Chain A
Amino acid sequence: MKIRILIALSLSLIAGPLAAQTVTPVIPVGAAVQQQMMAPQAPSAPDTRPLALDARQLSLGGALKTPELWQAYKAAFITESGRVVDTGNGLVSHSEGQGYGMLLAIAANDRATFDRLWGWTRANLMVRDDQLLAWRWDPTRRPAIADINDASDGDILVAWALTEASEFWGDVALKVAARRIAVEVGRKLVVYKTKFGALLLPAVSGFAAEDRQDGPVVNLSYWVFPAFARLPLVAPEIDWRGIVQSGLDALKASHFGVGGLPTEWVSLRNGVARPADGFPAQFGYNAIRIPLYLAWAGIGERVHYDPFAKWAKDFGGRAVVDISSGREASGFGESGYQAIGALALCVTDGKPLDRGALVAHGPENYYPATLRILVNLAAQMRFPSCLR
C-alpha cells in the first residue's frame, strides 16, 4: 500500500477542514500518459448537442437497486457503533463519511444501520456550540475530535441524509435535526450577494474574505448539488437554487490550464477565480467529486462536464492532474475513482458504464469504494440508460 499523506499537513497554519481525502506522493508522469498527452489531437468541432439530463425531484429512499454492494460496504467500513472508518487515512472518521454512510443506508432502506450511523454522528461530532458538525474524528488522539471546525460538505451531506430519511421513513425527529443543520448552513456558511451569488464557504472558520488574503476560498466539490434540490423540504427559506447557480457559475469560471479542470481549492477574491494560494494547484481527490454531484443532480451543461469528460478520455479517469502543466501529478491509485470518469462520459457521450468499473475486484479503501457505490447509485437514479 502506498504511503498516504494528508493534504493539509503541509498547510499546517491554514485553518479549516479539508475533505478527508488522501493523496499519493507526486510521481513522474508515466510514459504511457506522456505518449497520450503528446499524441496529436485532431481538431474537432465542439459538441453542442443538449445533454440528456434528468433533474426531476427524486427521493433517495430505496433507490439503490444493488443491495449486495451495500452489504459489502457495510461490512468493510461501518462499525457496530455506527462509525464510518476511513481505512486509507489512519482509521479516522469525518462528517463527510458519516453523511455518505447515512445516504447509502437510506438508499438501501436500512433503517437499523442508519440509526447507528446517525447516533454515532451526533454523539461524537456535534460537539460545536452551533448546529454544525466537527469535521474530523481520530480514535488515536486525545481528544478524538481533531478539529473543532466544520466542513460544509459534511454538514450538507448529513442534513441531506436526515432530510431524505425523514421523508422516507416519516420520522419527524429526523426532520427536526435536518432543519436545524440546514438552517445553520444557510446562516453561517453561505456568503450572499457576492459577484458569484450565494457562495458556499468550506467551513465556518478559515476561508472567508476576512480570513485569507485570497479569500473567499471555496472548494467546488463541497457543492453537493443533489442535496440542494432536497433541502428545501426542511429549510425552504434558504436560497438553495442560488447556491446551485453560484456553484455552476464558479465552476464555469474555474476552467484552469490546458485541460480546463478546476483546482481543489479556488480563490474567488474580487469575483475572479484562480487557484487558491497555499494549496497544490491540482485537480485531485476533492474535485473528482464535482462531476459525480453534477450528474447525480442531473444539472449542468456541456461546459460544466466537458473538462471532466476530457480528463476521463485523456487519463482514463485515473490521474491527479497538475493544473499548470496539464499533466498527471500522480495516480489515484485505486480503481474506484475511475467510476467517476465513466459516469462523466455517460453524461456527455451516452457511453455505457463499464460493468467492471462498477464493482470492486478486491479489497479497497473507504474513499474509492464510496465513490464507486455513489456512482452506482447516481447512475441507477439518473442514467439507467448507461447501465444497460
Chain B
Amino acid sequence: MFALKSRLQAGVVAIALLAPGLAFAQAQSFIVDMPNAAAPAAAPAPAARPAPTPAANPAEIAARPDVAQAPLRAAPILGDGEGPDESALRYYAQLGQMDRVNVEIERLVRLYPTWTPPLDLFNGEPPGNPDEDVYWELFASDKIAELQAALDARKREEPNWQPSHDLATKLRRKELRMRIMSFWKEGRLQDLVDFVKKDGYNADDADVEMLWTIAEAFAKTKQTTDAVSVYMSILKSGADQPARLATIQKAMAVLRMNDVEKLIAAGRVDANGVSEFAPIMVDIVRARISAYLHDERVEKIPANELAVFEEYAKTAPDPNQPGLVAWYFYKTKTFRDALDWFKLSLEHGGDAMIAHGLAHSLRELDMRRETEEVAYAWREPLVNNLILFIDILERDLTLEFPPYIEPERLARYAKVTMDVASGEGAQALAWYAYNSCQYEVAEQWFQRAVAWFPKEATVYGYALTERKLKRDKIFWDLMNRYDGLFGKVVEIIFPDGYYHPPTPCDEMANQKLRPMQQKIGNYVVPGSYPVAQPAGAPFNPNMTAAQAAGYVPYAQYAGDYGYRQQAPEPPKIDRKLFPVAIDPENPLRYAATAAPPASTPAKFAQAAPQGPLQREPYHGPYPLVADRVPGVGAMPYESYGFTLLPGWNGINKPTSPTYAAQIAPAGTLWATELPEKDRPKTAMQAGSGGGGAMVAGAGGGSIAAGVNGAPPEVAPTSVPVAAPAANTQSSVSTPAVRVVGTPIGVAPAAPVQPTPVVPAVPTAPQPQASAAPSAYGAPATVQPTAILTPQAPLTPQLPEAADAGTLAQRAMQFFNEKNYAAALDALDRRAPLARETTELRMVRGWSLLHLQRPEEARKAFATLGGTSGQSLQGSR
C-alpha cells in the first residue's frame, strides 16, 4: 500500500512541480506593450511627469476598469534588445538634408519594420558642423572603425580639431552599444557584465534597450542586485510609459517575482490610487501566480487580483491561461475550483497535462472512477496519465474484498499493463485473481510482476500462489532465492506463531468447515465459521466471525493486539528443500506487448549486428547460509536461534529500522509528505487548510498492510483504508457517458480509444487466455469477516452517479473502506435503477449490521435467495 501511495504522491508532486513549469513558460512568453521603445532622450522631461510614488503595497495594484477587457498588448520587443538608432536620422533632419533623411528612414524601416519616424524629428538640438557630413555617413552605416580612423586622421592633420560634442557623444554611445551587443549575440554574458562593471557605463550613454540587455545579462549571470538596479534606473529615468511597462515585463521574465515586486513598488500611483502598472496587471498577476506555484511566493493571490486574471483567463483563447488558474487552485487545495478551471481549459483546447490536472483533481475529490476514465482517455498523449491510470485502479484491485469491476475495465487494464510491461499493474491483477481464488490466472500475472518489479510483497504473493498450485519446485526456489532479503517471503515457511484466519478461498475449499458456518435466513454467510452461536444466545451484531474465532487482524504487526497460540518452535522443513543452493538470478523475463510505432528515429540508424554475448561466468558454488543485507531486518528464523553471515560490508546485525522504514531526509520532497498513518485519504479529509504540503496520497494502497505492504500469509490482501469523509457535490460521469453536466475532459476531441478486447491472462499460450475476462467479470464475493471496527457513521455527499454500475462500485468501495453509511447510501440510490445482486445484498446486510441495525440486516440476508445476479455460492 505504501508503495503505491508513494507513487501517487510522486505523481502529484510531479503535478505540483510541473505546474510552475507551465506557468513559468507562460511567464517567459510575455508580449510586451512597447510599440515605440523610444530612447530616453526622446522622452518628455522627467519634470513633466508626476513624481514617482511607491505603491503602498506592491500586492495591491488597483485595477483599471478596462484592464480585464482590454489588457494592453503591443508588439514584441526584439530578443536581442537592439532597436533603431535614430542619431544619424536626427542629424540629417536638423541639417535639413531631406534626401538623406529619407534614405535613412528607408534603411531603418527595412531593419525595423514596425518602427515609425519620431514625431519630434525636426525639433531636436541644433545641427552640428556641416563639415562632419562624411563622418555622419560613416556613423549611419555603422562603419565605426572607419569613422574612428577618419577622425584620427583629421586630428593628425589638424591637431586642434575636435569632433562636435554631438558626434563624439553619439560615437561613444554607439561603440558602447556595439560592444555590448556583440557580447550579447555571442552569448558571452559574463564578459558583458564584466565589461560593464570594469569600464563602467554612463546611464546617459545607454538607451533603454541597452539597459534592458545589460539588466538581463546581470540577471542571467545571477547578479540579481545589479539587475534590479539597472531596471530601477530605467524607472527612475524619464522613460515613457511603454518603456516603463516593458521594463516590468522584461524583469518578470528573468527575475524572481520577489525582486520584481521591488520594481513594482517603485511605480507611480495616481491620485485615485491606481498604479501606473495597472495596464499590465494581468501579466503581473500571472507572474505572481507563477511565483506562488514555484514556492517563490508564500502569500496567496489577493482575491481582487485573482478575479481580474480569472476574468481574463475565461475568455483567453490560450488554454494555458485557465490552466494556470486551475493549477493555482490545485496548489491551494481548492480542488473543486481546480476541477472547474481544468474543465474550462480543456474546453479551450487544453492539452494532456491539463487533463492530468483534471484527473488528479478528481482523485482528490475522491471521484476515483472518473479519474480512471480521464486518465485512460488521455494516456497516449502523456505518459503521466498512463501511469495514473495504472495506479488509480491498483488500489481497488488489491483490496482484500475487491469491488466489482466490469470485465471490460479489467480487460483494458490488463492490456495497458501488458503493453507497457507494468509491474504495478501486473501485481494488482495478480492479487485480484488471487483474492478471487483464480490461482492459475494469478500465477500468470505474478510471474510478470516478479519479472518487472520483484518487490517483497509481489514475490510473497507469487510464492503463496505457487504453493496453492502445489508447484513445489518454483515455491522452494523462491524461498531459497530470496532468503536473507525478503523476510515476509520466508515467513511463509517460518510462521510467526500467530493465528491467522483462513481466506475466503480457503473457506470455500474446506468442506469440513461448511457445516459450522453461520446461517442467516437461507444464506450461509461465508467466512462466518467457526461462530457457533450458543443456542438461545442473543445475536451480537458487533462481533464478527473472526472476532468470535479469537482473531485480531494484523496482530502480528502490533504485539499489543495479538497473541501467540503457541510458543515458537522451529518448523519441520525438509532439508532437501531449504536451505539449498540456488542460482540467485531471477530468471523471469517478459517483454512489453505494445505495438512498435511505424517510424522511429532508430529506423534511420544502422542497427548493430548481433554479436556474441558472454556466458555467465559464475556457476557456483552457491552458499546455503544467507548473508546479512544492509537495510534489511531480521529473518523470521532468527527467532529460532538461527543466524546469518556478515554482510558484504561486515555488518552482522539486522538493520533497524529497515531502509524501507527510514525517515525521509529533510529537504527532500519525500520529507514533505505526511507519514502514511497521518495522511489524509481524501482531499476532504485534508480539509481546506489542513494536510501537509504535497499531500497526494489519496490514491490508495498497494496490496496490503504489513512489512512493505505485504499482507499476512493467509489473508494476502489489504487493510481497508480509512473511510472517506465524503463531502462533495458534483456531477459524476459514468463509464458509459462520462459526461454529466459540464464536460470533464472527455470532450469529443479527446483521444478516447476503443475498448480493447484482450485476454486477462498475459500470454496467449496460457489455457486461461480466453476464459479470464469472464472469470474476472465474476467479482470476488464480499466477505466482511475482516471488517472489524464499526465506523462512526458518516454521511456521504457523493457526486450524483448516473448508472447502477458506478453506484455498485461505489458501494463496494465504501464497504471496503468500512464506511458503511456511505455504502448504504450508494445502494439506496442504486435500488431504483437495478435489482440488487447477491453481493450487493450482502453488502447491505453487513453494512446494516455494522451500523447496529440488526433487524434490517436480517431482512436483507433473508432475501438473499430471492435475488438474482452473480453470487459467491452460485459462481463457485
User: Do these two chains interact?
Assistant: yes
Q: Which of A's residues lie within 8 Å of B, judged by CB?
A: 8-9, 11-15, 50, 59, 61-62, 67, 70-71, 74-81, 83, 85, 87, 91, 105, 108-113, 115-116, 119-120, 122-124, 126-131, 136, 138-149, 167-173, 175-177, 179-180, 183-184, 186-194, 201, 204-205, 208-211, 216, 234-239
Is B11 in the interface zone, CB < 8 Å from A? Answer: yes
- CB <8 Å contact, A142 and B623: yes
CB-nearest residue of chain B relative to A116?
Answer: B613
Enumerate chain B residues within 8 angstroms of A126, measured Cβ to Cβ: 423, 452-455
A129 touches B708 (CB 8 A): yes
Residues of A within 8 A of B670 (CB): 187-188
In the complex, are the beta carbons of B600 and A142 less than 8 A apart? Answer: no
Set of chain B residues within 8 Å of A71, measured between Cβ atoms: 608-609, 611
Known: A147-B648, A208-B665. A180 touches B616 (CB 8 A): no
Chain A's nearest CB lies how many Å from the CB of B527?
Answer: 30
* Residue in B17, B188, B384 whose CB lies within 8 Å of A179: B384
B300 at the interface (CB under 8 A from A): no
Please, how many angstroms separate the alpha-carbon atoms of A315 and B579 in the complex? 51
Q: Are B585 and A81 in contact (CB under 8 A)?
A: yes
CB atoms of B420 and A176 under 8 A apart? yes
The 7 closest A-B pairs by CB, nearest first: A62-B605, A12-B650, A144-B584, A237-B17, A208-B665, A148-B631, A110-B608
Q: Is the CB of A236 within 8 A of B584?
A: no
Q: Which residues of B contact A138 (CB under 8 A)?
A: 648
Minimum CB distance partner of B20 in chain A: A237
Cβ–Cβ contact B2 & A129, under 8 A: yes
List 28 contacting pairs A-B, 8 Å CB cutoff, sorted by A. A15-B630, A62-B602, A70-B608, A78-B614, A85-B614, A109-B602, A119-B451, A120-B585, A122-B453, A124-B585, A124-B586, A127-B454, A128-B659, A128-B660, A141-B648, A143-B584, A148-B629, A149-B659, A172-B380, A172-B419, A173-B594, A176-B386, A184-B10, A187-B10, A187-B13, A210-B665, A237-B16, A238-B17
Q: Is B651 an interface residue, CB under 8 A from the partner?
A: yes
Q: Which residue of B lies closest to A12 (CB)?
A: B650
Contact of B629 among A85, A145, A237 (CB under 8 A): A145
Question: Which residue on chain A has the smallest CB distance to residue B18?
Answer: A237
Query: Hey, which chain A residues are within 8 Å of B50, CB to CB?
Result: none
How many chain-B residues does the 8 Å CB contact rule pick out?
Answer: 102
**A148–B630 CB distance below 8 A:** yes
Within 8 A of A (CB), among B527-568: none
Say whether, besides A142-B625, A148-B659, A78 and B613 are in contact (CB < 8 Å). Answer: yes
Q: How far is the CA of A191 from the CA of B631 in the complex (A)?
A: 21
B420 touches A172 (CB 8 A): yes
Contact with A along B658-691 (1 / 0, CB 8 A): 1110111111111000000000000000000000
Chain B interface, DSSP helix/strand/loop, else mixed: loop
**Is B610 on the interface with A (CB-CB < 8 A)?**
yes
Is B421 interfacial (CB 8 A cutoff)? yes
Q: Is B474 an interface residue (CB 8 A)?
A: no
Cβ-defined contact, A143 with B456, below 8 A = no
A4 CB, min distance to chain B CBs, angstroms: 14
Q: Does B177 contact A (CB under 8 A)?
A: no
How distant is the Cα of A12 from the Cα of B653 in the complex, in angstroms? 12
Q: Enumerate chain B residues within 8 angstroms of A147, measured Cβ to Cβ.
A: 629-631, 647-649
Within 8 Å by CB of B485, from A79, A145, A170, A238, lies: A145
Complex Cα spacing A120 to B592, Å: 14
CB contact under 8 A between A9 and B649, given known A59-B601, A109-B606: yes
When A and B form their complex, what is the total count of cross-chain residue pairs whose Cβ atoms lie within 8 Å? 288
CA distance A14 to B647 in the complex (A): 12
Inter-subunit contact A12/B614 (CB<8 Å) = no
B372 at the interface (CB under 8 A from A): no
The yes or no answer to B571 lying at the interface (CB within 8 A) is no
Query: B627 to A149, Cβ gap below 8 A?
Result: no
Give which listed residue, B605, B651, B665, contacts A209 with CB less than 8 A.
B665
B591 part of interface (Cβ distance < 8 Å)? yes
A11 to B386: give the CA distance in the assembly, Å: 43
Name the contact of B455 in the complex, choosing from A129, A136, A140 (C-beta under 8 A): A129
Q: Output the least CB separation between B137 and chain A (Å).
A: 35
The residue in chain B whose Cβ has the minimal distance to the Cβ of A149 is B631
Evaluate contact between B665 and A191: CB separation under 8 angstroms.
yes
Answer whether A131 and B606 are a contact pair too, CB < 8 Å, given A140-B623, A204-B662. no
Interface residue from B6, B614, B616, B667 paired with A130 (Cβ < 8 Å): B6
Add 9 more A-B contacts to A139-B618, A145-B629, A170-B602 (CB < 8 A): A15-B631, A62-B601, A80-B615, A129-B457, A140-B618, A142-B584, A142-B623, A146-B647, A171-B594
Is B632 within 8 A of A62, CB to CB?
Answer: no
Question: By the criterion CB–CB under 8 Å, are B456 and A129 in contact?
Answer: yes
A129 pairs with B668, CB closer than 8 A: no
Segment of B210-218, B476-484, B868-876 in the binding face: B476-484
Instruction: Kindly state the separation between the CA atoms of A149 and B579 in the bound complex, as whole angstroms.
Output: 25
Given contacts A143-B584, A188-B668, contact A61 B602 (CB under 8 A): yes
Bound together, the chains give a CA A79 to CA B599 distance in angstroms of: 30
Residues of B within 8 A of A124 (CB): 454, 585-586
**Interface-centre pick from A9, A110, A183, A238 (highest chain B CB count, 10 A):** A183
Inter-chain contact B485/A127, CB cutoff 8 Å: yes
Complex contacts, B159 vs chain A, CB 8 Å? none
Contact in complex: B667, A186 (CB < 8 Å): no
Out of B485, B623, B666, name the residue touching A191 (CB < 8 Å). B666
Digitize B562-590: 1 where CB-to-A-CB distance is under 8 Å, 0 elsewhere.
Answer: 00000000000000000100111111110
> In the assembly, what is the distance between CA of A119 and CA of B423, in Å?
12
Q: Determine the chain B residues whose CB is within 8 A of the CB of A176 once the complex forms.
A: 383, 386-387, 420, 422
Is B832's beta carbon under 8 Å from chain A? no
Q: Give complex CA distance A78, B617 in Å.
A: 10
Interface string of B703-736 (1 = CB under 8 A from A): 0000011000000000000000000000000000
Chain A residues lying within 8 Å of B663, measured Cβ to Cβ, are 210
Residues of B contacting A81 in the complex (Cβ-Cβ under 8 angstroms): 585, 587, 616
Per-residue interface assignment for chain B, residues 5 to 32, with 1 indicating a CB less than 8 Å from any chain A CB and 0 otherwise? 0110111011111100100000000000
A139-B659 contact in complex given A74-B611, A74-B612, C-beta closer than 8 Å: no
A183 touching B666 in the complex, CB below 8 Å, given contacts A129-B660, A234-B383: no
CB distance from B444 to the nearest CB of A (A): 16
B422 touches A167 (CB 8 A): no
Q: Does B151 contact A (CB under 8 A)?
A: no
Q: Indicate if the CB atoms of B584 and A75 lie closer than 8 Å.
A: no
Write out the residue numbers on chain A whose beta carbons fall within 8 Å of the beta carbon of B47: none
Instruction: Flag if B383 contacts A123 (CB, 8 Å).
Output: no
Q: Assess whether B607 is interfacial by the CB under 8 Å rule.
A: yes
Selected from A139, A142, A238, the residue in CB contact (under 8 A) with B627 is: A142
Rounded to whole angstroms, the CA-CA distance of A192 and B632 in the bound complex is 28
Q: Which residue of chain B is the closest to A198 with respect to CB atoms?
A: B667
| B13 near A115: Cβ-Cβ < 8 Å | no
A108–B609 Cα distance when bound, in Å, is: 9
Are B625 and A9 in contact, CB atoms less than 8 angstroms apart? no
Give the shortest distance, in Å, between A304 (CB) and chain B (any CB): 14
Residue of B nearest to A18 (CB): B649
Contact between chains at B632 and A148 (CB < 8 Å): yes
User: Does any Cβ of A come within 8 Å of B42's Cβ?
Assistant: no
What's the Cα separation between A83 and B485 when bound, in Å? 20
Determine whether B200 belongs to the interface, using a CB cutoff of 8 Å to chain A: no
| Complex alpha-carbon distance, A159 and B490, angstroms | 31
Look across to chain A and name the residue whose beta carbon is closest to the beta carbon of B650. A12
Closest to A64 in B: B608
Cβ contact within 8 Å between A170 and B626: no
Closest to A145 in B: B485
- B596 interfacial by beta-carbon distance below 8 Å: yes
Contact A80 B616 (CB under 8 A): yes
- In the complex, the answer to whether B616 meets A146 with C-beta atoms within 8 Å is no
Judge whether B659 and A205 touch: CB under 8 Å.
yes
From residue 181 to 201 of chain B, which have CB atoms closer than 8 A to chain A?
Answer: 188
- Determine whether B622 belongs to the interface, using a CB cutoff of 8 Å to chain A: yes
Interface residues of B in 802-855 (CB under 8 A from A): none
Q: Is the CB of B3 within 8 A of A130?
A: yes
Chain A hits for B609, CB < 8 A: 67, 71
> B597: CB under 8 A from chain A?
yes
**Nearest Cβ on chain A to B376's Cβ, whole angstroms:** 14
